[in-house]
Amino acid sequence: MRNNRWIPISKLILVIGFTALVGFILEIHAADIRKTAGARDTVAYWSAARLLVEGHNPYDNVSVLDLERRWAGYLDDRPLVLRTPPWSLFMIVPLGFLTPFTAWLLWMACSLACLVAGMKVCGAVFASEEATPNNLLSLVGYTFAPVAACLTFGQMGLPLMLGLVLFLYWEKRRPFLAGSALVLPFAKPHLLLLFWLALLCWVTLRRQGRLLFGFGATLGTAIAIAIALDRHILGHYLAMVHSASIKKEFIPALSGVIRLLFFHDLFWVQWVPLAMGLIWWAWFFVPQLSTWNWSVQGPALLVISMLVAPYSWLADESVLLPAILQATVFLYQVRSQLKTHNKVTILGLALLNVLLLLLLKAKVPLASGIYFWSSLVWTFWYFHAYGLHRRYAQIPVLEADDMKLAS
């Protein structure tokens, strides 16, 4: 009994000590952080929120650039404009009442909270009879390169990841909440198109009305909040999309690099990987629809969706954290059966993750395109782990033919 009382107290002391340490570090580096606030993507969230709470168009280039220059010390001629749809604005509205620096602090605190919560929920979703050590999951999760990129550049990938994890956790027991949680990753629907297509088919054919109602009600509420702040918000968003000239931009994803190398002026080429992904989707998802289990097969859809996404960045790949942790659990379960070449392969994939971390440490810009191969690493890591688990654990987590991806 004495130990049970002391464990929470020790955790509380650790939390207080860590918070004090973080506060001390922020105080020392506050001046430098303020100077670089305009270089982070968080400034786009802050400027959109500030314009929104003041009753202006959050997608207007001129207003955004003026605000970012005056308040955040932004130096570029091209403004950082928020490109996520109106139903995502509820996540950033509180930032509009703060300064760029305090908005960054709040966003970082929320992102870290989403990361910690996501890690905890993943442990519950992928729990097994032979529990995987928390230290191993923490090591893999907290050193996952897209997570570091998301925190470094102040992106919104971690809130999106938390929404996916909560969906996997609530899908069977609380379908309404599971549907509501999906509004978070729906802030960037283009990242997981195969996932959304599978969800639509599953909800329709399996008649998951409560889940659909939860998603629809929460999405409608999010849109209503945006319209209440700007009654022309839908028109403003469509105008921004029309004038953004995305077709002329280099997208540092696998699809963007393929287009840049071989089909520079043909924007439709960026959709070719997605078309190939649809073939895989029909082969993988449709035959298993009657026995589909989101917590088992769902992460595979996340991995392939990100691989073939027409528009994505390294930080966006933080939504793959549940898939990476699931693969880690599978590897741990068959650890005694791994051959030398399996261990070498796993070590090589881990070193590639370290290489991505070193590139981030060296401040190599995400837009450089040097990170384009990261989605290939996660795909190979995931299906390699699934293949080993299928072979040695003899648990039918996927259909046998699906393991061809691991070879």
Residue type for position 396: P
172-220: per-residue pLDDT in tens?
Answer: 989 999 999 999 999 999 999 999 999 999 999 888 889 999 999 999 9
Q: Between helices 157-170 and 145-153, what is the axis angle to 10°?
A: 130
- Against a cut of 0.75, is the pTM above it? yes
DSSP 8-state symbol, 78? S
Please give the Cα distance from 257 to 279 (Å, whole number).
Answer: 21
Please give the Cα distance from 177 to 196 (Å, whole number).
Answer: 17
Q: Which of 75, 74, 88, 87 is nearest to 45 (CA)?
A: 88
Residue 395 has pLDDT above 80, yes or no: no
- Res 212: pLDDT: 94
Question: 387 with 315: CB under 8 angstroms?
Answer: no
Q: Which of 287, 294, 399, 320 is nearest to 149 (CA)?
A: 320
Please give the Cα distance from 381 to 141 (Å, whole number).
Answer: 14
- Res 7: pLDDT: 45
Query: Domain-by-domain residue ranges, the chain?
Result: 36-46+106-211+244-406
> pLDDT tier at 390 (50, 70, 90 boundaries)?
confident
SS3 164: helix
Question: Under 8 Å CB-to-CB from 222, ≥6 apart: which residues?
Answer: 86, 87, 88, 89, 90, 183
- Res 23: pLDDT: 53
Which structure tokens are listed for 312? 């994505």
pLDDT over 70, % of the chain? 80
Q: Is 207 left (phi over 0), alpha (psi -120 to 50) or beta?
A: left
Question: 167 with 196: CB under 8 angstroms?
Answer: no
Which structure tokens are listed for 348? 């090589």
